[in-house]
Amino acid sequence: MDLLLLIIIFVSSILCLAIFGHLKLIRNGLNGFNNRLGVPEAAGSWPIIGHLHLLAGSQGPHKLLGSMADKFGPIFTFKLGVHRVLVVSSSELAKECLTTNDRVFASRPKAMATELIGYNCANFALGAYGPYWRQIRKIIVHEMTSHHHLQMIAHIRVSEVQSCLMDIYRTWATKKGSSETVMVDMKQWFGSIVINMVVRMMFGNHFSPGQQNRDQFQKAIKQFGELLGAFVPSDAIPWLRWFDFGGYEKKMKKTAKEIDVVINGWLEDHKKKMNSTSTQHVDDRGDQTVFMAALLSAVKEEVKEEVYGFSTDEIVKATCLAIYGAATDTTTATLIWALALLVNHPVVLKKAQQELENHVGRDRKVEESDMNNLVYLQAIIKETMRLYPAAPLSVPHESTEDCIVGGYTIPKGTRLLVNIWKIHHDPQIWAAPFEFRPERFLTSDKEIDVKGRHFELIPFGSGRRICLGMSFALEAMQLILANIIHGFEFQNPSNDQIDMKESPGLINHKATPLELLVAPRLLSHVYS
């Protein structure tokens, strides 16, 4: 959002308020709110739009809010239009919000995206805390994220990794030059392997020729993520929705339609299978492991449409979209950051490869049974998630009642942002917080994990709203990264440091491509 748009919003808002005579009422209301709250407020607020203009720059919101925390402290508020947002930037305060006040902050704020591209609020990841959310969460945990189910779909992870390794090897064999290397866009490669893995896990097959073009669907999913992370004017100032500043409503409707065409196609396929077999979603091809089929069956049996107001189709599609979008985006982003960091730190890369040779050797691929022995690889992934958390501000929470945080009274309806990025770079917790040092997780910080119990490191969040796909993401990232650095050598074509610029948004993506020179490390029979 540029400054001109903010000025237009500002002027329009004042005119609207002047016409309806509400300016004084809102100002008095906000002043009374400030007196009750007592939390330090960031300077620089404008009337009506609050601090919205500060978010118009190119700097990522997590870094902007991190700079504001340096000025105003680890707990402060800012105004997002008519909404008050609480920002916490320390592990102690994050723990207080997500343990002591976990239930209070378990809800999500309403937004245009939740309605238009969240199947009218049926998307459990973006929806309010309550009976519907608890019901869907229970089904997801049982049908998808349990240890038993992850073991059932292990063959999908393994086969997709093997297939993609072979693709790189074939590309090298046919296109290698005199340097015995070939250029590979690793950003695209990581995206492809994660997408294939998640599509098979959730829908049972790859994109078929009869479906909407894969690239178009992925473009729509990318747009979905960008729209979720955008600061939409009417979310901050609701009466501006009629004007649709920035065209967000139009974009969301278009994106929702493009996504629904593909997901609905998968759903109709599974409904036909269920109607054509007496064993419901279980058939000879192993559809019992396909999440959409299991979810469709569970929703029909356990969720009453008349209670929650959503149809079975809406619930299934919204839930699958939530998981698909989160699983592909965050996992891919972390893998890209990890490889970029390794290429920028060749000593660390060589050390990781040596660990693989010690425990795996050079005559076979890495298997899931090797993972427990690869402690340095696990430290690399931890350190990557510390430096570049996939969701640096987590997903916004909203309080459902008054509570106390850091000694301050936080009123009902306050939005909460936990600045995970700031916590992960806290010099009081981490030595050399901006440096890539995987060894820290083998020595001084050995006991810290990423599972929401240690608030110094919470890339998946914590509490009731912790990421349900955490176990899948960790297993997939370890298997993919281990195989790729075991199987190939990587070099930056320019011999310079890789650009580590971040792109703004809900998900922390690398802003620039990751094109590397690649050559195999192992004998040819290992790749077949």
Instruction: Name residue, tokens 């992370």.
Output: 229
Pairing state between β 415-418 and 83-88: parallel
Query: Which residues have CB under 8 Å from 269's CB, separation 6+?
Result: none
Please give the C-alpha separations between residue 232 and each of 42, 114, 224, in angstroms, as whole numbers: 21, 12, 13
| HEC profile of 431-465 | CCCCCCCHHHHHCCCCCCCCCCCCCCCCCCCCHHH
Instruction: Name residue, tokens 């607020």.
Output: 45
Q: Which helix or strand (DSSP H or E) is residue 149 part of? A: helix 147-152
In contact, 252 and 259? CB cutoff 8 Å: no
Distance CA 499, CA 514 (A): 9
Cα 202 → chain centroid:
17
Write phi, then psi, for 305 (nearest 5 degrees). Answer: -60, -40
| HEC profile of 10-51 | HHHHHHHHHHHCCHHHHHHHHHHHHHHHCCCECCCCECCCEC
| HEC profile of 391-435 | CCCCCCEECCCCEEECCEEECCCCEEEECHHHHHCCCCCCCCCCC
Query: At 77, is the secondary structure helix, strand, or coil?
Result: strand
Query: Which residues have CB under 8 Å from 330's CB, separation 6+?
Result: 390, 391, 467, 469, 473, 507
Distance CA 451, CA 467 (A): 9
Query: Which residues have CB under 8 Å from 486's CB, separation 6+?
Result: 353, 356, 357, 360, 365, 366, 521, 522
Query: Is 467 annotated among the ligand-binding residues?
Result: yes
Distance CA 40, CA 87 (A): 10
In contact, 398 and 108? CB cutoff 8 Å: yes
Per the structure block, which two tokens stand in for 225?
A: 């993520």
Per the structure block, which two tokens stand in for 148?
A: 């038993």
DSSP category for residue 153: T
| Burial class for 480, CB neighbours closer than 10 Å (0-12, 13-18, 19+) | buried
Please give the C-alpha separations between residue 104 and each of 84, 133, 380, 455, in angstroms, as whole numbers: 16, 15, 35, 18
Annotated binding-site positions for heme? 467
Annotated binding-site positions? 467
